[in-house]
Amino acid sequence: MPGDAGMGDMADLNERALAKYRNDFLREVEERVDEGHWVKMCMQCGVCAGSCPFGPHWEHSPPKIFLMIRAGKREAVLTSDSMWMCTSCYNCVVRCPRKLPITTIMHGLATYAQRLGLAPKVQPTRDFSIIFWENFTRTGRANEMRLMLRLWFKEGFAAGVKKALSMRDLGLAMLRTKRMSPLEILGGHGVKDVKGFQAMIRKAKEIEDRRRGLSG
């Protein structure tokens, strides 16, 4: 399911989006990004940027991203590393005087960038996000043990072993305190109706793609 669209499909999607919206990136965002219709309401006060725990690590702060969207800087926005810096702390959301759901918009921009294949290739949160999605949609529930192993070994076996060794103190502690179970590697817990669960997600994606003009 995660590999719904291969690289070729992504490039194709991007080409079609460019053709459809030409220079109107704001409209593209409004139609295709979660809560994108809020972007135009930003008044550039900067409170969100100043409230972000990872603020210094954002190359483009949220108000900048909103401004870039309005200025049609499509590629700069979608290839930006910044949205992936969101920790989902919602501090910006509660402080925004215009009540923009900034967290959701940032997630939505990341989703869209990923969908078009424009998201930065080397981005640890992007990797984690994909792995997490695959992890919990496989059984309906997140499997922490498998998640950790996938993460550690994502750059190959040797790197994984090294990472696992560096984490062994913590791992042992988690085992000792019964907050981790090696048995989870073998399938682990999940929903009973995995089939229905996955079918409904497929359907949701299909509906959303249709609504957003992203269907093939």
Partner 1 sequence: MADTKIAAYICRGCGLGERLSTGQLAKIAEKEGKAAIVREHDFLCSEAGVQLIRDDIEKQGATHVAIAACSRRAKTEAFHFPTVAVSRANLREGVIWCQPDTDAAREATQEMADDYVRMACDELKRMKVPAGNPDAARLRRLLVVGGGVSGMTAALEASKAGYAVTIVEKSGALGGWAAKLWKRTPAHEPFREPADTGVAALVAAVEADPNITVRLASVIARTSGAPGRFSVDIAAESGATATEAFGAIVQATGFTPYDAAKLPELGFGRSPNVVDQAGLEALARAAAAKGGPIRRPSDGGEVKTVVFVQCAGQRDDSGRHLPYCSGHCCATSIKQAMYFKDANPAVDTVVLYTDLRVPGNGEDFYRSGQSKGVVFSKGQVSAVEPSGDACTVRFRDLILDEDTAIENADLVVLATGQVPNAGVDIDQVPQDEPGQWRPDSRSVLNLAYRQGKDLPLLRHGFSDSHFICFPYETRRTGIYTAGPVRRPMDIAQAVEDATGAALKAIQAIENAAAGRAAHPRSGDLSFPIVRLEGCTQCKRCTVECPFGAIDEDEKRYPVFNESRCRRCGTCMGACPVRVIAFENYSVDTVGAQLKAVEIPDEFAEKPRILVLACENDAYPALDMAGMQRRVYSAFVRVIPVRCLGSVNTIWISDALNRGYDGVMLMGCKHGDDYQCHFVKGSELANYRMSKIDDTLKQMALETERVASYEVAITDIERLPRLIDEYAAKIGEIGLSPLKGFG
Partner 2 sequence: MAKKEYAFYPGCTSHYRGSASNYLVSVESMCKTLDVKLTEIPDWNCCGASVSYAGSGELARHVINARNFALAERDLPGQDIVATCAACWLNARETKEQLGASAQLLADTNEALKEAGLQYRGESEVRHMVEVLIEDFGYEALGEKVVKPLEGVKFAGYVGCQTNRPFGIAGESFENPMYLDRLVETMGGEALTKYEQKVTCCGGALAVSEPEKSQKQIKDIVESAYDHGADMIVTPCPLCQANVEIYQADVNRKYGTKFNMPVTYYSQLMTVAYGGSAKEAALDGQIIRATKLEEIAAKPAKK
Within positions 30 to 69, which residues make up the interface with partner 1, using CB under 8 A?
A: 40-41, 43-44, 63-64, 67-68
Number of residues forming the site for partner 1 (CB under 8 A): 12
Q: With H, G, I as helix, E, B as strand and everything else as coil, classify residue 121.
A: coil
The set of residues, in sequence order, having a beta carbon less than 8 Å from that of 64 and lying 6+ positions away, is: 49
- How would you class 128 by CB atoms within 10 Å of its CB: exposed for 0-12, middle for 13-18, buried for 19 or more? middle
Using rule CB under 8 A, residue 6 touches partner 2 = no
x/- binding map, residues 84-123, to partner 2, per CB under 8 A?
A: -x-xxxxx-xxx-----x-xx--xx-xx--xx---x----
Residue 13 neighbours by CB distance under 10 Å = 20
Q: Which of the listed partners (partner 1, partner 2, none) does 121 bind, with a CB threshold of 5 to 8 Å by partner kind?
A: none
- In whole angstroms, how close is the CB of 62 to partner 1 at the nearest point? 11
Q: Which of residues 168-197 bind partner 2 (CB under 8 A)?
A: 169-170, 173-174, 177-181, 183-184, 189, 191-193, 196-197
Q: Which of the listed partners (partner 1, partner 2, none) does 9 bind, with a CB threshold of 5 to 8 Å by partner kind?
A: none
For 123, the token pair is: 């981005």
Q: Which amino acid is at 130?
A: I
Using rule CB under 8 A, residue 127 touches partner 2 = yes
Consecutive H or E run containing 38: none
For 164, the token pair is: 């696992």
- In whole angstroms, how close is the CB of 169 to partner 2 at the nearest point? 7
For 39, the token pair is: 């972007």
Using rule CB under 8 A, residue 130 touches partner 1 = no
Contact pick of 67, 136, 160, 164 for partner 2 (by CB under 8 A): 136
Consecutive H or E run containing 180: none
